[in-house]
Structure formats: C-alpha cells, structure tokens
Amino acid sequence: MEKLSVLVRPELEGDPFYWQAGPTGVLLSHGFTATSAEVRPLAKLLHAQGYTVAGPLLAGHGTTPEDLNRVRWQDWLASVTATYQELARNCTRVIVGGESTGALLALYLASQVPEIAGVLAYAPALKLQISRSNQIKLRLLAPFIASVPKGGPKDDNPWQGYAVNPLKGTLQLLRLQKALRPRLPAIHQPALLAQGRLDGTVTADAPQIIHDEISSAVKELHWFEHSAHCMILEKELPQITEVTLRFIRNIESQSISAPQKNNPEVTA
C-alpha cells in the first residue's frame, strides 16, 4: 500500500531547532501528531528575550502517520531527552516544557532528572475527553484500522501536523498518561501549568490533578479564558508569554542552577 503523506500546512517550518543565546535554556516539545511548528511562536518570543531555546521533532512525527503507528511513547521521550542533553551541555540551567503530549513528556523527564530547573506545561494531556467506551473501541480497532480523520480545521492557527489520528499512536499516548501519573510525586521542580477554558481535547480536571500530585514547592496553575487546546498558537499567546517569562525569571532569581546531568536514564 502506498504511504499517504498528510501533513497539514507543509509549508511551515517543523524541523528540530536549537537557537543559542543566554545561559538559561528552554526546551519546548510539540504535541501528538504535530511538529515543532506548534511551539515555534513561543520559542521565538523567548529567544528574543535572551534565552537559548530548542525544540525536538518527536519520533514518528513530521513524516507519515504510518511512522507514528510504529513508535512507542518511550521513543518520544528519547527525542526530548536528546534535546535536553544538548541544552544541558551548553546552559547553566535548563527548563523543560511543551504543549499537550509535549507537556507530559516534559513532566516525565523532570521526574527522572532532578537537575532540571523547572517545568512549563501548556494544556497537559493527562486525561483526554474520550469516554471509556470509546477507549475500548480504540483498543479493539487499532490492530485493524491505521487511522481516522480528524475533520477540517476549526480556525486559522499556524498548526502543522497529520490530518489523521493514527490509532496505534493514540494508544501510546494513553500509555504515556498511565506511566506518568504515578511519577508525578517525584517532580520537585518549580512548575507552571497553563490551561485554556475552551479546551475540547483535555479534561478540565487534568491540570488540577497534576498541580495537586506533584511535590513542587513552587507551582502555578493559570487559566486562560479565551484559549482552546493549541493555546500557544492562539490569541492569548502574549499573556501566556508574559506569565512564562515571569516564571522563568523567578527561577533565575532564585539561582536554581544545580549542575546538569548530561545523560539522564530513560526508563519506562
């Protein structure tokens, strides 16, 4: 069978990036089925403020949906870990973050690597608005149906990624959620959680669960009234950026700059 390349907005830049600047590094990971185009607008704003910023292209993304069906969530984590290690070699401190699935990967990595200075979690996809019966259907259909269409775009956000949801890949997202939940108490770093009131993908209680279960002494949960799921591509990006910059500068002022661990172990 011929592979279908179904990238929405292929003209956008979606490759991995690494933009050198100051001693504080910020990692921003995109979400499920997306590319680095999802985090580039925020990354550019942070880089303009003097931060070294990097974003991976997660395994199985930016090519074909079939590729996403062939990888495990641990492969996504390996993509994020490699980018973190590059930042850690060159920066005094590294803050890790991401949107949706990217936020989960950042949280998981923070649970492994105590030297990470802070976490930025935008619309963290710990729980999806999928009923239990539909999850059962997903598990039954995934061996036989490669993907299902997402439907047309609902807005003009500069989002790049697959126009379909690969079903085996979706199962890996559910497994990542399950693997992360018991690790939340192992997260001690300052954490910024941001969620849109109009998010139709993640359940409304997901960010509060993370907020309550992580062990961070410093943790913030911000709601944005006019944002949906791809919140860092939407009209409240200036306000999100302001909150993010204030959070990062507070970390810097507190001198949370322990020596970086360059080779964190990736575990399931």
Per-residue pLDDT tens digits for 53-75: 999 999 999 999 999 999 999 99
Residues designated as active site: 100, 199, 229
Other Cβ atoms closer than 10 A to 115: 18
- Rounded mean pLDDT of 17-46? 98
H helix or E strand, kind and range, residue 217: none
Instruction: Tell me the backbone φ, ψ of residue 116, rounded to 5 degrees.
Output: -60, 135
Residues 263, 45, 247, 258: is their CA dihedral positive or negative? positive
Distance CA(28)–CA(135), nearest Å, equals 28
**Residue 145 in tokens:** 């149906």
Radius of gyration of the chain (CA): 17
* Residue 152 banded pLDDT, cuts 50, 70, 90: low
Structure confidence at residue 114 (pLDDT): 97
Residue 261 has pLDDT above 70, yes or no: no
153 pLDDT band (50/70/90 cuts)?
low
User: What residues are paired with 162 via a beta bridge?
Assistant: 7
Q: What's the token pair of residue 64?
A: 């074909």
Of the candidates 114, 59, 49, which has an alpha carbon nearest to the alpha carbon of residue 83?
Answer: 59
* Residue 196, pLDDT score: 98
138: which 2 tokens?
């997903």
Cα 115 from Cα 112, distance rounded (Å): 9
Cα atoms in the 13 Å half-sphere on the side-chain side of 48: 8
CA separation for the pair 26, 23 (Å, rounded)? 10
Could you tell me the two tokens for 242? 């302001």
Residue 153 dihedral angles phi and psi, to the nearest 5°: -65, 145
The CATH architecture one would assign to domain 7-253 is: 3-Layer(aba) Sandwich (3.40)
The b/e string for 40-79 (b: 16+ C-beta within 10 A; e otherwise) is bebbebbbebebbbbbbbbbbbbebbbbbbebbbbebbbb
pLDDT in tens, 170-199: 999 999 999 999 999 999 999 999 999 999
User: What region, left, alpha or beta, does residue 100 occupy, with left being phi > 0 and alpha being psi -120 to 50 degrees?
Assistant: left
Q: Where are the domains of the chain?
A: 7-253
Average pLDDT on 106-119 reads: 98
Residue type, 69: N
More reliable by pLDDT, 266 or 154: 154
Supply the pLDDT for residue 263: 41
Q: Please give the distance of CA 134 from its chain centroid, rounded to a whole number.
A: 24
CB 157 within 8 A of CB 230: yes
